[in-house]
Chains A and B, each alone.
Chain A
């Protein structure tokens, strides 16, 4: 694992770490201080040469460095634990303040796994997971990204990615659709002001789960990759299949509209083995993306929200997924609403958890220069699954930023 070498070579110290342990994936955000800024991580007041930090509470140390993003499959949680161990976590700053005498070390974590794997972390790493509410983390993360990171949100239609500049003062309300294993739909009205208004159980886990059963793919990304080469017309029953090739124009259905996902698989002459995994994957992806797009739009409509942001690991910057969701939103809203995506879509919860350190020991996280760099060292942690998807991997770029420590 290259990144491990990189990290250790550069003597980078991970000092602030937050986790989002979902049903399928574990997402990590961690902060690495620049070597030159942490010569002495004690109480030295740093002289700052840039003025991007709006806060200047001189009683606190200011740490400059980078936020890094990484992910692992939840089923391979041991890889994650190994990674963390190898990173030589410096967690000194995070002792439980309420019990200063104890040796308890806390890591902020969110997602269901924060509960499920708490014991494992304690046992393997000797750290306690400080659980943060999942929705709160998602929203905090999204708000942070949308306000602080330049070119975070973008639309994607017909292969065209277009960044959307969002005025931080005109951000709310919006609908945040987080597509993890399942899907949560959250109406966000402000910082810390939100409500989970809906959701669906047809999410990333469904795509992957059904996909595994149907195609023998070994992982999510392989399955996504397959869908690129598939043709959904093989399995989906299109309007044209029912109407003998003609449109049902009266109600605005073209002959290529999917009338019934997998509707053609009812054919008695074919078995599962007779279908190409590519086609299966494609149909599956369209089914789920379409459905999420539709339900999201209906919920946006219900609350009169014009903006819908899609995030979560299901999307993964995957063009076809984004395209399908965009088309669905566009179709159902008759062009009124637009689907938007976030570059750091998979890391909202983790970021939110990371931000929650503020309450205890960090006063602020400020992004420098709005600058993102391609991940040289750490982004592909946990697996080599990104090698074929380099072009899509920029969502894992690290962010240069400043953290005020205690």
Chain B
């Protein structure tokens, strides 16, 4: 049975869904994986207190009364076999639909936030079950109520095109409280009680229309409450949410959760609200101005005939405001008024030159008008905001709202104003999800959405796959199924010329006043769509946790290579692009090489290159960009086009070939003395690491011989000292010196890399050695496929095969519950054979060749609790990421560098150099 279900937030229709699932255990289990799970008894304590007008900040226990939909838990019963984990809970008396959609209907734009459940491909296999039992993990173990794993999507529409918005909602059936509409084959039920949370003035104005068109009631949430709730959530939960933007340069700001309040929130919509935020639900609207986004657009329309806000913004990039603004120099005949700090290019009077009798509106360039207007309004907002920050002694000012739209020049002018007026004391910061504060807040106001105590590590922001180039902007039909997605990519490619190269930025300008200098970074990069959402889809994975062995989680940065260096970025883009055709071939072959597979392969290639182009243009589009993100993008993109495991057959072939020679290798090792064996084992790990389909150099190698030939050749070439060689230190730790035998490690976590020789001939023998010394071994592998990396799903079979020829491995695997199938045959209480320490396999929670240790699976986190040795193997996990990571316990990083550039950069070496870095546990 199953799981599930009751996702309280999501309400009612789940019943139906559950029933369907109950007929099909497999699919049901699939959903369960993210820990959605049943409702706990304490669920009533988690109601979000988000009262509209009430300012009771202290208590969180107030229940909304009246109209707010609540789950009716009466007569709830567990369905099915209650011995299963996470049983379905039937809520027969739940009467209201609770939607997964929230809206912010502003004067100009409608913002939507909606939730979709993860389409989970993985299966709750036996391995997982035993691991969980062994490690004592339960899904969502820190919570007594469920949080759904899924995705938060962000979409916007113009308010004037409300019908498009209604169509979108209707086509996705977002209003029906259904999460995965693809499972929904019939017409939605006419539920009179369906309710959607909405904020913004339009929530009042269009309530009737929603009722009429969609049959849903709008439940209004207070606008300010929503803004603040949204901002607080983003600032706490999204790692790279806030950034500064000065002179075209974007820099993410790390904000300590404990030091967030108070701050000033400036929401620039049609008008501007300025809010002082002191805590969750504690805030005050202290000021505002009527000169806002609506003014820009309104005046802009009257003056330029532009048809959209974005077009107007776009114009401003090419404008010269000096033709319209009266500058200090115009008044002083080109001289500065330096006595009071006004330079000649300072704007003395916005539009002050337009008083000229000689020129009419038609004589001015719309570009110049747009720029003058933009500067006038941006400066003004910056100034008023700063004055208010000053008034309350606030150092941080966050600007949000749709006026900003990630538009570089707007942000620059606001930053400039704040910097200018504060003389550098205050800083303007921006939020990537700027336009969605209200909608997110409204979403949060659903009871038990479970978002309010999500932590940073539960959220993974991923590239929006539906429409990569525009970053999720919706025009025309929403991209629903795969076929639409492919068609979209095909169409997209026809106008592929629109992918523009970055435009170099002008050097920084100087300061002015009244005053403002003509900023230099006018426009920064030219984008064909200035309003592209600079945000991805938020994946909520409630089971993710911070790796407990990180020495300093706050300071931890997974990426070793900083891609903010443009050359570095270019290099990796080239590498990825060049590797792409080969990958497509593999992917298509893995799906049988059918026409459909070919079509999907093409679409993947286009989507991937479009993503790359977009990131080239704006590397920080989805937060700080690291190589790990780029590599993950590729994998995500493959999965998006349903290539679930492009290297499946290659991995299989290599595993078989390697397993075939493993017994010989083990025999060879067993004939060595301890010291020679340890060296050979480490050499073996490094040598076997040459098998890497992610490395161009290695792919070429494959044409030169069989796996075993290459492995032997590679091992024979191992000549110490390696480029980074701490082997002697490690050996001393393992074998001791002066005849003293050190205590063996209690538990070692081995982060494995590639399939085939790498894991079979490299890591397994090392694991075996540790086991023999009495150390528990946990093999940590990917949750999802990435290149030819071995996955946690595949490992048990490999281990089982290896165990056939090795008692050490067999007993340890049995003890670790990996040989479930084998045991069922011989089950006779031999379980009690505790003579061996266990060998276990856990998944790491990711599907990338790299690993971000801030976000790992709960089972890895649990397994790490009593580990005292971490071994990271392979370039992705020990060099590209985590090369500089420090752990609370001992760590060994092993990799062969199969990339010339990386070798030079990281270890001042060359290709095929090896890294064996041993770091003892920190003293304290």
Contacts and interface: CB of A to CB of B under 8 A. Distances in A.
A259 B270 contact: yes
Interface in B283-326: 285, 287, 289-295, 297-299, 301-303, 305, 307, 309, 324-326
A346 to B, nearest CB: 16
Contacts of A236: 290
Interface centre among A111, A134, A200, A291 (most CB of B within 10 A): A200
B332 A112 contact: yes
Contact of A295 (B295, B354, B384): B384
A205 B355 contact: yes
A162 to B, nearest CB: 27
A261 B390 CA distance: 25
B201 A201 contact: no
Contacts of A24: 352, 355
B404 to A, nearest CB: 15
Given A115-B335, A213-B303, A260 B205 contact: no
Contact of B295 (A180, A196, A257, A260): A260
A201 B107 contact: no
Contact of A206 (B289, B376, B515): B376
Nearest to B377: A202
Contacts of B325: 201
B299 A265 contact: yes
Interface string B489-517: 00000000000000000000000011110
Nearest to B106: A242
Given A112-B328, A112-B337, A261-B291, A206 B349 contact: yes
A242 B299 CA distance: 18
Contact of A242 (B270, B303, B337, B421): B270
A58 to B, nearest CB: 38
A265 B301 contact: yes
A301 interface: yes
A260 B301 CA distance: 14
Interface string B372-389: 000010011001100110
Contact of B331 (A113, A199, A257): A113
B334 to A, nearest CB: 8
B301 A182 contact: no
A181 B391 contact: no
Given A75-B357, A250-B222, A23 B294 contact: no
Given A135-B340, A199-B514, A206-B351, A266 B108 contact: yes
Contact of B514 (A133, A182, A239): A182
Contacts of A161: none
A201 B271 contact: no
A201 B294 contact: no
A201 B514 contact: yes
B391 A302 contact: yes
Interface string A194-211: 001011111111101110
A198 B420 CA distance: 11
A332 interface: yes
Given A208-B355, A242-B205, A302-B387, A260 B513 contact: no
Given A183-B514, A242-B107, A209 B290 contact: no
Interface string B217-228: 000001110000
A290 interface: yes
Given A201-B376, A251-B224, A209 B285 contact: no
Contacts of B270: 237, 242, 259-260, 263
Contacts of B335: 115
Interface string B339-373: 11000000111111111110011001000010000
A60 B333 CA distance: 38
B348 A262 contact: no
A268 interface: yes
Contacts of B307: 268
B340 A262 contact: no
A388 B309 CA distance: 40
Interface in A59-103: 75
A23 B107 contact: no
Contacts of B297: 263, 265-266
Given A23-B330, A213-B303, A291-B291, A261 B514 contact: no
Contacts of A242: 106-107, 200-202, 205, 270
B832 interface: no
A275 B302 contact: yes
A243 B202 CA distance: 7
B53 interface: yes
Contacts of B391: 298, 301-302
Given A213-B303, A291-B289, A201 B349 contact: yes
Nearest to A273: B302
B438 to A, nearest CB: 12
B376 A265 contact: no
A214 B303 contact: yes
A294 interface: yes
A201 B302 contact: no
Nearest to B356: A75
A149 interface: no
A113 to B, nearest CB: 7
Contacts of B224: 250-251
A196 B351 contact: no
B204 interface: yes
A22 B328 CA distance: 11
B160 interface: yes
A175 interface: no
A337 to B, nearest CB: 13
Contact of B383 (A200, A213, A218, A260): A200
B356 A259 contact: no
Contact of A201 (B305, B384, B387, B516): B516
B354 A111 contact: no
Contact of B271 (A180, A202, A263): A263
Contacts of A202: 291, 350, 376, 380
A220 B910 CA distance: 74
A224 interface: no
Nearest to A208: B355
A251 B383 CA distance: 22
B333 A112 contact: yes
B732 to A, nearest CB: 66
B718 to A, nearest CB: 69
A48 to B, nearest CB: 40
A244 B204 contact: yes
Contacts of B515: 199, 201
A381 B434 CA distance: 53
Given A209-B352, A243-B204, A250 B53 contact: yes
Contacts of B352: 23-24, 181-182, 201, 203, 205-206, 208-209
A209 B294 contact: no
Interface string A288-304: 00110011001101100
B302 A260 contact: no
A133 B384 contact: no
A239 B383 CA distance: 23
A181 B326 contact: yes
A264 interface: yes
B421 A201 contact: no
Contact of A265 (B271, B302, B348): B302
Given A212-B355, A260-B290, 4 more contacts: A112-B332, A235-B298, A260-B292, A260-B298
Interface of A: 22-24, 75, 111-113, 115-117, 133-135, 180-184, 196, 198-206, 208-210, 212-214, 216, 218, 220, 235-237, 239, 241-244, 246, 248, 250-251, 257-268, 271-272, 275, 280, 287, 290-291, 294-295, 298-299, 301-302, 332
Interface of B: 52-53, 106-108, 160, 200-202, 204-205, 222-224, 269-271, 285, 287, 289-295, 297-299, 301-303, 305, 307, 309, 324-326, 328, 330-333, 335, 337, 339-340, 347-357, 360-361, 364, 369, 376, 379-380, 383-384, 387-388, 390-391, 421, 513-516
6 contacts: A182-B349, A203-B352, A214-B303, A259-B294, A262-B298, A265-B302
